Amino acid sequence: MKVSKSPWMLHYDGSSCNGCDIEVLACTMPRYDVERFGVINTGNPKHADILLITGGINAQNKPVVEQIYSQMPQPKVVVAVGICACNGGVFKDCYNILGGVDTVLPVDIYVPGCAAKPEAIIDGVIQAVALLDEKRKSVREDKKEAGQ
Amino acid sequence: MLGTVIFLIIFPFVCAGVLALMRKSGPYRKCTLFVFCAVIAAVDIYFIVNSLVFDETQEYLLETHLLDNVMLFLEWALFVLIAYFSIRYKKYYCILLSLLQTGLITYLELTGQTESHIAHLYVDKLTLVMCLVVGLIGCLICVYAMGYMKDFKAHHSEFRDRRSFFFSMLFLFMGAMFGLIFSNNMIWMYFFWEITSVCSFLLIGYNQSREAVDNSFRALWMNLLGGLGFAVAIYYCVTQLGMVNLQQLIDMGSAVVFPVIFLAFAGLTKSAQLPFSGWLLGAMVAPTPTSALLHSATMVKAGVYLLIRLAPAMCDTLAGLMVTTVGGFTFFIASMLAISQSDGKKVLAYSTVSNLGLIAACAGVGRYEAVWAGILLMMFHAVSKSLMFLTVGAVENSLGSRNIEDMHGLIVKLPSLTAILVIGIAGMFLAPFGMLISKWAALKAYVDTQSILLVIFLIFGSATTLFYWTKWLGSLVSVHHHSERLENITKGSEWFALISLSVMMVALCLTFPVVSSYLIEPFLQELFHTEAVSVISSGNVLIMLMMIFMIVLLPVLVHFLTLGKKNKIVISYMGGANTGDDRSFVNSTGDAKRMYLANWYMESWFGEKKLWKPSIVLSAAAIIILLVMVIGGVA
Amino acid sequence: MSWILAIGFLVLAPLLGGLLEGADRVLCARMQGRQGPPLLQPFYDMFKLIQKQSVVVNNVQDVLVCGFLIFVVFAGLLFFWGGDILLVFFALTLAEIFFIMSSCSANSPYSSMGAQRELLQNMAYEPMILLTAIGFYLAANTFNVNEIAVASVPAIVYLPGIFIGYVFILVIKFRKSPFDLSTSHHAHQEMVRGLTTELSGNVLAIVSLAEWYENILLISILGLFFLNGTLWSVLAAVLGCGIAYFVVVLADNVFPRVKWDAMIKSTWIVTLVAGGINLMIMELLTR
């Protein structure tokens, strides 16, 4: 059974303007309904497979993002939603902004846009899901190697 | 056999006298106390085994004129003692109560109406059950007290060291209890009844602090009121029915309500039922062994013992109605009040009151199944409650607190004591252990006797009971990382008592069908003149044993299934703001803030302020109305 | 026969439980105007959880969670084997206490809060559970499930009030709004995931497996109200359970979550009114 059949997601709002957050929530609403793909918005890193971050990383939320990521069980993927999460966006040069999510975490999927469109977000999530299966495989192979 | 009975009654009094004289602490006193306990326990077991082999109800006729006079003299001595303390602390109402009842009994004795040539001592299977409870558990508590009082003295240097007095009181208590359970003559019973009242008064006031004195007087007047009820019942029996024999009274069945309802009233005060629960809750100010003794082996058990004895006479009478209503009500209210308490001993106190209510209600129903449940409940309660009290005392000595909130994460700090606490708590309410079996039987009995009110009390009371015990259990097992193991200063003698009681608890859970078929069922068959009725079918007993083994096997099973071996341990989730040690989080100013997790107490719903007064009024009203109805109906 | 039923429960309950949850999720989505997940989604979730790494906060959690599963299954086996229904409920309570202890042991804010609320839920529904057992006893004059199931008159004829009360507490047991205080199937609750916050991977899989078993057991007890030993009564039981489950899901989508005091007040009042009056009438009838 593939992990991708049941991707549970954790939505974290970095220093977003809330534009992308509203679009993320729109994905779970009747018009887009990501639950069609088994996606559940868990709100708990220990249950999540996908960490979906909107907004850039600033000095204050850096340790929080790192901690949440560390609490997620393997395999896991990170999706940066919106241009701010991708590289800092319009806030890039602010004194408190460190940059995009990739300044602290290994980002797997970038979903650009300001705000990112629901279609784009869903597309990103689906790609992330495909990646989960690959990671799952590599985790297994790592284990096998370690076993030998 | 008669010699053994007399030895069991007299010897504790002798021990008390010897210990009172041994003022100096040291190995000498310690050994003496241990030897006394060992002797009592050994004779007790010898007596029980012997009686079981003998297997007949034993009655002893004694030429008792001299003894009666001695007792009368001692009763006046007790009055003088009460009068002395009442005057010293300016609580004059106690003198009045004591004078009334002592006068009443003296009048009967002096007019010679109490002369009777019936068995004064009586031993049946219920007596043996009580022997088990009083002798074994009482002795273990005394052994525990030796080690505990040393630490107590060290912790509470503000109180005067009166340990010799304390130990002698413990033995006096045991002697009185033995006297009470062997007596058949109600005047004798009354005499020992009064001794337990006075003993508890002296023990509760041990610290001699303001609070202790107040609480001890509360215990005194309530128990004296019960004693007055006892005296009135005896007066009626002697003057109207011309007998002083308890068995005779019970054999009359529900024909005579008047003396039975007054005896039941005495039983209710002694077993701390509402509205008289205050004295048992106040008794907490005394050192822990006192509470353990009052709550499990003696005192309150005297109350329910009398009620169980009276059970057939209460069946379908106003007396039964009073006992079941008050008992069931107390079970429910006390278990709700226990929810709002955070002091470990207070939770235990409320739980005692609550369980005694259930036992009283079982006795009040007065049918085979109900009384069976009541007796079993009494045994399980005695063992698990003494275990709980003693363990909480030991925890308090090591931890410096007996508050449940401070017991969070105790499994890391004091693992061995926690294990014993868990056994005790599981025995108090969990399937398939102890108390639940009897609660189950009680439920069946209530349904069969169509007492809807009792059924309602029982189901709601079970729910609230579940809440406060599980809450405590949850606190104990919460695992705090980075918490230090505390030094366990529990002494050898304390360990001996704790482990013996835990073993007894487990053994009783496993062997209760045996206890039931050898002790309880024969007693009930004789009492109700019926064939054996199996209250809980053997199939269900087997299923419950299976459950016990599953619980024991669970950790082993999980270990071998290697489940969880690959688990990665991470810090707990605090919105990503965990500082890394699971104990604090980063607050809005960027500093570490200590996390504190409290249990729910729901004061606004279950607090004493909210429930205490209305429940006192309601229960008092129920008692008064029924008493008046009986008095009016008779007069 | 009784052994076949018990083994049938052991094997089929996870399948049925999963399907029930899948149907529940589809139904919920349709009520909200969404398409919803595939019917087999709960099984996909289960297999994923088993495959994932488990992160835990200590080593007692998984032991206690296993206790939860074992005693739920035990209760179910006892029920389908035809045992004493009171004992079934006691075993179920024991299982619940294992679960609560596992959450308490995590010593984390969300799971501890969840545990306290779960305990409160327990306190709220326990009287009704016991009353249900008593009701069956009065209706069929036995606590044994195998005898209740073949009583000449189905229990619901005598116990309409207790039936209503039981459906009411099923809302709590199935963790449905308005009483999904301790943990919820929906995201975005103030307590993250309450009870299960600190559980993950295969430990979480055990929890959902246990809940499948438990849900099937609870719904079977609901079915017991309709049984009288004939084939028709089995059909009636399935239909009755279906309708009751639909009502519970509807309530889930209609009502917002209430506070704890509203929950306990309403549950106890329903227990007293619906259950208590029913009990009184039964007593009068059997007298």
Render pLDDT for C64-82 as a digit per residue (tens, 0 to 9): 898 999 999 999 999 999 8
Q: Do A70 and B570 make contact, defined as CB atoms within 8 angstroms?
A: yes
Q: What are phi and psi of A80, to 5 degrees?
A: -95, 120
Nearest residue of C to residue A8, measured between CA atoms: C45
Q: What is the pLDDT of residue B187?
A: 86
Q: Which of B570, B586, B590 lies nearest to residue A71, judging by beta carbons?
A: B570
Tell me which chain B residues have a C-beta less than 8 angstroms from the C-beta of A139. none
- Identify the band that residue B449 occupies on the pLDDT scale cut at 50, 70 and 90: confident
Tell me which chain B residues have a C-beta less than 8 angstroms from the C-beta of A70. 570
* pLDDT one-digit tens code per residue, A83-116: 999 998 899 899 989 999 999 999 999 999 998 9
* pLDDT one-digit tens code per residue, C172-192: 999 998 888 888 877 666 788
Contact B262, B220 (CB under 8 A): no
Tell me which chain C residues have a C-beta less than 8 angstroms from the C-beta of A21. none
Helical (H) or strand (E) element with B592: strand B592-594
Which amino acid type is present at position C76? Answer: G
Contact B304, B338 (CB under 8 A): no
Q: Do C106 and B409 make contact, defined as CB atoms within 8 angstroms?
A: no
Helix axes of B186-204 and B163-182: crossing angle, nearest 10 degrees = 160
**B571 Cβ under 8 Å from any chain A Cβ:** yes
Chain A residues at the B interface, defined by Cβ less than 8 Å, are 44-46, 60, 63-65, 67-68, 70-71, 73
How is residue B575 written in tokens? 């919105």
CA distance B570 to chain A (A): 6
Q: How many helices (H) and strands (E) does chain C have?
A: 12, 1
Q: Which of B568, B570, B577 lies nearest to residue A64, judging by beta carbons?
A: B577
Tell me which chain A residues have a C-beta less than 8 angstroms from the C-beta of C34. 29-30, 33, 35-36
Better-predicted residue by pLDDT, B268 or B94: B268
Nearest residue of C to residue A9, measured between CA atoms: C187
Q: Is residue B542 part of a domain?
A: no
Question: Whole domain around residue B21: which residue ranges?
Answer: 2-536+598-634
Q: What is the pLDDT of residue B635?
A: 44
Q: How many domains does chain B have?
A: 1
Domains of chain A: 3-147 (3.40.50.12280)
Q: Which of C34, C35, C51 lies nearest to residue A3, judging by beta carbons?
A: C51
CA distance B443 to chain C (A): 9
Q: What is the pLDDT of residue B561?
A: 65
The residue written with tokens 């608890």 in the block is B505
* pLDDT one-digit tens code per residue, B337-382: 999 998 888 999 999 999 999 999 999 988 888 898 899 889 999 9
Q: What is the pLDDT of residue B267?
A: 92
**C39 Cβ under 8 Å from any chain A Cβ:** no
* pLDDT one-digit tens code per residue, B163-202: 888 888 889 989 999 999 888 888 888 989 999 999 888 8
- Cα separation values, B196 from B82, B95, C213, Å: 13, 17, 53
CA distance C201 to chain B (A): 9
Q: Do C44 and A1 make contact, defined as CB atoms within 8 angstroms?
A: yes
Q: Is the pLDDT of residue C111 over 60?
A: yes
* pLDDT one-digit tens code per residue, A108-138: 999 999 989 999 999 999 898 888 888 887 7
**C192 Cβ under 8 Å from any chain A Cβ:** yes
Q: Do A40 and C29 make contact, defined as CB atoms within 8 angstroms?
A: no
Which amino acid type is present at position C189? Answer: Q
**C51 Cβ under 8 Å from any chain A Cβ:** yes
The residue written with tokens 């008792």 in the block is B64
- Region B551-555 average pLDDT: 81
Q: Is residue B572 part of a domain?
A: no
* pLDDT one-digit tens code per residue, C143-167: 999 899 888 888 899 999 999 999 9
DSSP 8-state class, residue A49: S
Q: Is residue B89 part of a domain?
A: yes
Mean pLDDT of chain A: 88
For residue A54, what are the β-bridge partners? Answer: A13, A81
Q: What is the pLDDT of residue B100?
A: 87
**B398 Cβ under 8 Å from any chain A Cβ:** no
Tell me which chain A residues have a C-beta less than 8 angstroms from the C-beta of C200. 46-47, 73
- What does DSSP say about strands A50-54 and A109-111: parallel, antiparallel, or unpaired? unpaired
For residue C181, what are the β-bridge partners? Answer: none
Determine the residue among C21, C26, C51, C203 to mutate to test chain A binding: the one whose Cβ has the most chain A Cβ atoms within 10 Å. Answer: C51
* Ordered strands of the A50-54 beta sheet: A40-41, A8-13, A50-54, A77-81, A109-111
CA distance B545 to chain C (A): 12
Give the span between the Cα atoms of B420 and C176, in whole angstroms. Answer: 37
Q: Do A6 and C35 make contact, defined as CB atoms within 8 angstroms?
A: no
Helical (H) or strand (E) element with A50: strand A50-54
Q: What is the pLDDT of residue B366?
A: 85
- Identify the band that residue C21 occupies on the pLDDT scale cut at 50, 70 and 90: very high
Q: Do C37 and A43 make contact, defined as CB atoms within 8 angstroms?
A: no
Q: Do B570 and C261 make contact, defined as CB atoms within 8 angstroms?
A: no
Contact C174, C93 (CB under 8 A): no
Tell me which chain A residues have a C-beta less than 8 angstroms from the C-beta of C199. 46
- Identify the band that residue B253 occupies on the pLDDT scale cut at 50, 70 and 90: confident
Q: Is the pLDDT of residue B564 over 70?
A: no
Q: What is the CA radius of gyration of chain B?
A: 25
CA distance A141 to chain B (A): 16
Q: Do B569 and C55 make contact, defined as CB atoms within 8 angstroms?
A: yes
Q: Is the pLDDT of residue C225 over 90?
A: yes
Q: What is the pLDDT of residue B317?
A: 86
Q: Do A67 and B576 make contact, defined as CB atoms within 8 angstroms?
A: yes
Q: Is the pLDDT of residue B151 over 90?
A: no
Q: What is the pLDDT of residue B327?
A: 93
- Cα separation values, B382 from B375, B502, B613, Å: 11, 12, 29
From A89, A113, A107, A127, select the one nearest A24 (Cα to Cα). A113
Q: What is the pLDDT of residue A79?
A: 94
Q: Is residue B549 part of a domain?
A: no
How large a percentage of chain B has pLDDT more than 70? 96
Nearest residue of B to residue A68, measured between CA atoms: B576
- Region B614-632 average pLDDT: 90
Three-state SS string across C57-120, please?
Answer: CCCCHHHHHHHHHHHHHHHHHHHHHCCEHHHHHHHHHHHHHHHHHHHHHCCCHHHHHHHHHHHH
- Region B53-62 average pLDDT: 73
- What does DSSP say about strands C55-56 and A57-58: parallel, antiparallel, or unpaired? unpaired
Q: What is the pLDDT of residue C235?
A: 93
- Region B498-521 average pLDDT: 87
Chains with 3 or more CB pairs closer than 8 angstroms to A?
A: B, C
Q: Do B577 and A67 make contact, defined as CB atoms within 8 angstroms?
A: yes
Q: What are phi and psi of B406, to 5 degrees?
A: -80, -10
How is residue B184 written in tokens? 């058949």
Q: Do B473 and C101 make contact, defined as CB atoms within 8 angstroms?
A: yes
Tell me which chain C residues have a C-beta less than 8 angstroms from the C-beta of B582. 57, 107-108
Q: What is the pLDDT of residue A146?
A: 57
Q: Which of A6-20, B384-398, C46-60 has the weakest average pLDDT?
A: C46-60
A-B Cβ pairs (cutoff 8 Å, strict) = 22
Q: What is the pLDDT of residue A145?
A: 64
- Cα separation values, B249 from B86, B175, B233, B361, Å: 35, 25, 11, 20
How is residue C263 written in tokens? 């929950």
Determine the residue among B462, B470, B537 to mutate to test chain C binding: the one whose Cβ has the most chain C Cβ atoms within 10 Å. Answer: B470
Give the span between the Cα atoms of A147 and B448, in whole angstroms. Answer: 64
Q: Do A63 and B568 make contact, defined as CB atoms within 8 angstroms?
A: no
Q: Do A41 and C25 make contact, defined as CB atoms within 8 angstroms?
A: no
Q: What is the pLDDT of residue B92?
A: 83
Q: Do A40 and C187 make contact, defined as CB atoms within 8 angstroms?
A: yes
Q: Is the pLDDT of residue A54 over 90?
A: yes
* pLDDT one-digit tens code per residue, C10-20: 999 999 999 99
**C122 Cβ under 8 Å from any chain B Cβ:** yes
Q: Cβ contacts of residue B205 below 8 Å, gap of 6+?
A: B212, B213, B215, B216, B286
Q: Is residue B575 part of a domain?
A: no
Better-predicted residue by pLDDT, B560 or B46: B46
**B553 Cβ under 8 Å from any chain C Cβ:** no
User: In C174-200, where does DSSP find H-type helix?
Assistant: none
SS3 B535: coil
- Cα separation values, C113 from B353, B408, C197, C200, Å: 29, 14, 10, 18
Q: What is the pLDDT of residue C76?
A: 94
**C274 Cβ under 8 Å from any chain B Cβ:** no
How large a percentage of chain B has pLDDT more than 90? 18
- Identify the band that residue B90 occupies on the pLDDT scale cut at 50, 70 and 90: confident
Q: Is the pLDDT of residue A147 over 70?
A: no
Contact B144, B493 (CB under 8 A): yes
Q: Is residue B95 part of a domain?
A: yes
Contact B629, B260 (CB under 8 A): no
